[in-house]
Amino acid sequence: MLVQLKEETLEENKSKDIQKKAKPYKLVEKKHDNHRTVIEVKGVLIGGPEVLALAGPCAVEGLESLRETAKVVKASGAKILRASAFKPRSSPYSFQGLGEEGLKIQRQVADELNLIIETEVMDPRDVALVEEYVDILRIGSRNMQNFDLLKEVGKCKKPVILKRGLSATIEEWLLAAEYIMAHGNHQVILCERGIRTFENATRNTLDLSAVAVAKEMTHLPVIVDPSHAAGRVDIILPLSRAAIAIGADGLLVEVHHDRENALCDGAQSLRPEDFDLLMKECSSIANSIGRKML
């Protein structure tokens, strides 16, 4: 008969080790249970009791089109309009975005409809330009460890959404936020958007545990992008409900008023009526945990 020892394997020891390790970050660290950063943008609070929707098309395609989608997301309760003027595309032959023309369109639509606007910035040389036009800057997952870009947005006065890299550990994600904070900008919003795994039924695997873990480790607000994680429209509603239930401070959702003709990501963009339903169901979840969304 074999001797039975109460020995543990490396796998079993893993999370324990991590918790004991000295933390390599400082500014992002949650110092006590009630330590939370709330970021204010034109009267809207991110990271407070309200759960926010940041909704809109993948890309700015033109003035009429953005205005149309902006109206529908506003009507359903979104206060922040998402849209990209600079697009990171795997292929050099794919639509790369409208650039500064797109930023102007975003500003115009936001002003007309009294919405807050956020957009992606990819190149350190564009940071000043982008900051001029929009209210919130976004670092995409491919650029999470583009350290020169992080340093540049670290000098901005406006909030930055920092998407988690496709294969970034939570620690690396927090260290990327630390870069931004260490260069002076303390208004960082973390965004979980799916990690790359072996599973093919979804484009990426939304790691909702990472939201719960990040909430334990940092005082920064954490939002969730179910659209890029799923890559398919049929599970965005349940993923959004789960994100709110786990404690996310907001949702970054792709919505298009005419998704069949979207220039990119049509397959994962919600129709207006589905986004409206999403807002209602998520609002109900938010209420059940003592927060509000509508």
Of residues 259-288, those binding a second copy (CB under 8 A): 263, 267, 281, 284-285, 287-288
Instruction: Supply the minimum distance, in Å, between the C-beta of residue 229 and a second copy.
Output: 7
CB 116 within 8 A of CB 44: yes
Assess 32 for contact with a second copy (CB under 8 A): no
Nearer to a second copy (CB atom), residue 110 or residue 263: 263
Nearer to a second copy (CB atom), residue 118 or residue 207: 207
Nearer to a second copy (CB atom), residue 138 or residue 215: 215
Q: Binding a second copy by CB under 8 A: which of 215, 228, 257, 259? A: 215
DSSP 236: H
User: How many amino acids of this chain bind a second copy (CB under 8 A)?
Assistant: 95
Q: Look up residue 199 and give its two tokens.
A: 């599973």
Distance of CA 271 to the CA centre of its chain: 20
Q: With residue 162 as reference, give the H or E element that holds it.
A: strand 160-163
Three-state SS at 46: strand
Assess 111 for contact with a second copy (CB under 8 A): no
Instruction: Supply the minimum distance, in Å, between the C-beta of residue 151 and a second copy.
Output: 8
Which residues between 71 and 90 bind a second copy (CB under 8 A)? 88-90
Which residues between 125 and 154 bind a second copy (CB under 8 A)? 125, 142-143, 145-148
Q: Look up residue 259 and give its two tokens.
A: 């998704």
x-or-dash string of contact with a second copy, 155-184, rule CB under 8 A? -----------xx-xxxx--x--xx--xx-
Place of tokens 């795994």: 197
Residue count of the chain, please give it. Answer: 294
Instruction: Supply the minimum distance, in Å, between the C-beta of residue 220 and a second copy.
Output: 15
Assess 36 for contact with a second copy (CB under 8 A): no
Instruction: Supply the minimum distance, in Å, between the C-beta of residue 286 and a second copy.
Output: 9
Q: What are phi and psi of 102, to 5 degrees?
A: -65, -40
Contacts with 62 (C-beta within 8 Å, 6 or more apart), sequence order: 98, 105
Nearest partner of 56 among 65, 44, 46, judged by Cα: 65
Assess 33 for contact with a second copy (CB under 8 A): no
In the chain, the amino acid numbered 141 is S
Q: Where are the extended beta strands (E) located within 79-199?
A: 80-82, 116-120, 136-139, 160-163, 188-192
Q: Binding a second copy by CB under 8 A: which of 72, 81, 222, 243? A: 243
CA distance 103 to 105: 5
Total Cβ atoms within 10 A of residue 6: 4
Distance of CA 249 to the CA centre of its chain: 10
Assess 235 for contact with a second copy (CB under 8 A): yes
Place of tokens 């260290």: 175
Instruction: Supply the minimum distance, in Å, between the C-beta of residue 112 and a second copy.
Output: 28
Assess 34 for contact with a second copy (CB under 8 A): no
